[in-house]
């Protein structure tokens, strides 16, 4: 079920009404209903994969309970290894089986010994990359004795399958989200109102900005050999804005929807396009995935290699591994692997040369009305480096990305197609608006404006969403990951 669909427009008010009719005083029944609604939401796409998410959830639930018993270190390690192996095997089969089969076929063909392993007809379950990381973090944190497991199975299953963030995050940690399912929740009008505003802002970013950019991006990438360099460069800029509007829009809708149920989700984007370096951008982009990889991959590897005296080289190598995994997590294609590698190459100089490293700040560029010229140049360079990397993210193959890039550097006299610039102004308006609201949780926390002006803004945004809305419109990009 898509957020930008009529099905969800019926589903959400219905679930919201029944949820609060049950009330927080009957917590077990409220949690059971929320779990049922989450499974309906997930099963709406394909009910057969409900067994998959239930299996993945139960594996870590029982492993978590077993880890609390008086076990030897060896047994605890075996239990954790079993959990990770089962989870990664399920993820690997559905997401990467054909990728590795095809890679082996290509490798043998290059060696002059072609083989046919036969690709499997596998359907990728929606959201599997997200809830797999979520359940794995539960077992790992129990193993590390950072959290205690819960015996409340319904609350645990609700934590894993909570429908606003189930299929595209944020990837929540049990330490933060699970306790909210164990405590009574009372309706809060102020929080619910803020949730509706955040949903509205997320819908604006998805429907008005991202989907408009997508039309031109698809045209440019499919016919890159017929367009001049400026249009191809514009395609990368528009695609970067599309992905941002699409995914941060989803996150806003998810976080806003959760507020309607008096549940708080983690911030997943923090104005990434105002960053002054790629390293800072990745601290602000898809925060829940970045912090997951940092906590469970980067820190263990960096600690291990630094103990061996590898110093900054060990740290750089750990960063390389993290970004290669991040690329592979995003998609079973070599384009994503090289996309991750390119972002690692962007960051490693700041590790090897400390003076290039810039401190992350909670508010982008402080509370200045506008950035200084030096800061603005850093922001623009960072954005264009990121946009350049997105050719690998969007291209269908390595060859496609290479040919597209080469065309950018071919200066010919093909006529510019002005209509390709149509979606750029609204995306720029979104970024400017976010600049002036960057101290807020989302773009429509504008309580400082008078009520009449606020409602005019809400109505304009609502009209733009309805004007650009199409039933059965574009899926959210990260549904495929």
Which residues participate in catalysis according to the annotation?
330
Q: In whole angstroms, what is the distance from residue 107 CA to residue 14 CA?
A: 53
SS (HEC) of the chain: CCCCCHHHHHHHHHHHHHHHHHCCCCHHHHHHHHHHHHHHHHHCCCHHHHHHHHHHHHHHHHHHHHHCCCCCHHHHHHHHHHHHHHHHHHHHHHHHHHHHHHHHHHHHHHCCCCCCCCCCCCCCCCCHHHHHHHHHHHHHHHHCCCCCCCCCHHHHHHHHHCHHHCCCCCCCCHHHHHHHHCCCCCCCHHHHHHHHHHHHHHHHHHHHHHHHHHHHHHHHHHCHHHCCHHHHHHHHHHHHHHHHHHHHHHHHHHHHHHHHCCCCCCCCCCCHHHCCCHHHHHHHCCHHHHHHHHHHHHHHHHHHHHHCCCHHHHHHHHHHHHHHHHHHHHCCCHHHHHHHHHHHHHHHHHHHCHHHCCCCCCCCCCCCCCCCHHHHHHHHHHHHHHHHHHHHHHCCCHHHHHHHHHHHCCCCCCCCCHHHHCCHHHHHHHHHHHHHCCCCCCCCCCCCCCHHHHHHHHHHHHHHHHHHCCCCCCCCHHHHC
Q: In whole angstroms, what is the distance from residue 127 CA to residue 149 CA?
A: 24
Angle at 267 between CA 90 and CA 160, to 5 degrees: 30
| CA 455 remoteness from chain centre | 30
SS (HEC) of 437-479: CCCCCCCCCCCCCCHHHHHHHHHHHHHHHHHHCCCCCCCCHHH
For 97, counting Cβ atoms within 10 Å of its Cβ (0-12 exposed, 13-18 middle, 19+ buried), the class is: middle
Q: Which of 480, 443, 383, 431 is nearest to 209 (CA)?
A: 431
Q: Are 263 and 192 in contact (CB under 8 A)?
A: no
């Amino acid at each position: 079920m898509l957020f930008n669909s009529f099905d969800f427009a019926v589903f959400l008010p219905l679930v919201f009404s029944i949820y609060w009719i049950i009330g927080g005083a009957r917590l077990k029944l409220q949690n059971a209903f929320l779990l049922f609604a989450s499974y309906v939401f997930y099963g709406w796409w394909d009910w057969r994969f409900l067994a998959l998410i239930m299996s993945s959830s139960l594996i870590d639930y029982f492993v978590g309970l077993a880890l609390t018993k008086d076990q030897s270190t060896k047994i605890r390690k075996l239990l954790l290894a079993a959990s990770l192996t089962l989870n990664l095997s399920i993820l690997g089969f559905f997401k990467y089986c054909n990728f590795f089969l095809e890679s082996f076929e290509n490798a043998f063909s290059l060696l002059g010994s072609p083989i046919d392993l036969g690709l499997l007809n596998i359907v990728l379950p929606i959201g599997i990359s997200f809830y797999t990381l979520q359940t794995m973090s539960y077992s790992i944190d129990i193993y590390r004795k950072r959290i205690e497991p819960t015996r409340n199975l319904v609350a645990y299953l609700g934590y894993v399958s909570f429908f606003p963030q189930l299929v595209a995050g944020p990837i929540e940690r049990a330490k933060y989200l699970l306790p909210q399912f164990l405590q009574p929740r009372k309706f809060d009008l102020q929080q619910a109102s803020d949730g509706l505003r955040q949903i509205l802002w997320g819908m604006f970013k998805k429907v008005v900005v991202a989907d408009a950019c997508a039309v031109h991006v698809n045209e440019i990438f499919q016919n890159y050999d017929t367009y001049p360099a400026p249009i191809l460069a514009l395609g990368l800029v528009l695609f970067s804005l599309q992905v941002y509007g699409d995914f941060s829009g989803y996150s806003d809708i998810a976080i806003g929807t959760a507020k309607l149920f008096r549940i708080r989700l983690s911030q997943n984007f923090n104005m990434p396009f105002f960053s002054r370096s790629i390293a800072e951008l990745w601290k602000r982009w898809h925060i829940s995935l970045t912090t997951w990889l940092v906590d469970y991959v980067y820190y263990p590897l960096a600690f291990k290699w630094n103990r061996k005296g590898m110093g900054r080289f060990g740290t750089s190598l750990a960063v390389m591994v993290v970004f290669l995994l991040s690329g592979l997590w995003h998609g079973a294609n070599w384009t994503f692997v090289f996309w991750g590698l390119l972002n690692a190459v962007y960051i490693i100089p700041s590790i090897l040369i400390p003076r290039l490293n810039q401190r992350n700040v909670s508010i982008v560029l402080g509370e200045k009305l506008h950035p200084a010229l030096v800061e603005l140049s850093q922001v623009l360079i960072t954005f264009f480096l990121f946009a350049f990397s997105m050719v690998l993210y969007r291209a269908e193959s390595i060859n496609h990305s290479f040919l597209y890039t080469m065309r950018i550097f071919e200066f010919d006299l093909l006529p510019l197609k002005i209509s390709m610039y149509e979606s750029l102004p609204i995306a720029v308006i979104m970024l400017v608006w976010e600049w002036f609201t960057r101290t807020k949780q989302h773009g429509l926390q504008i309580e400082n404006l008078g009520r009449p002006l606020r409602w005019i803004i809400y109505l304009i945004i609502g009209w733009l969403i309805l004007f650009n809305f199409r039933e059965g419109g574009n899926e959210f990009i990260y549904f495929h990951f």
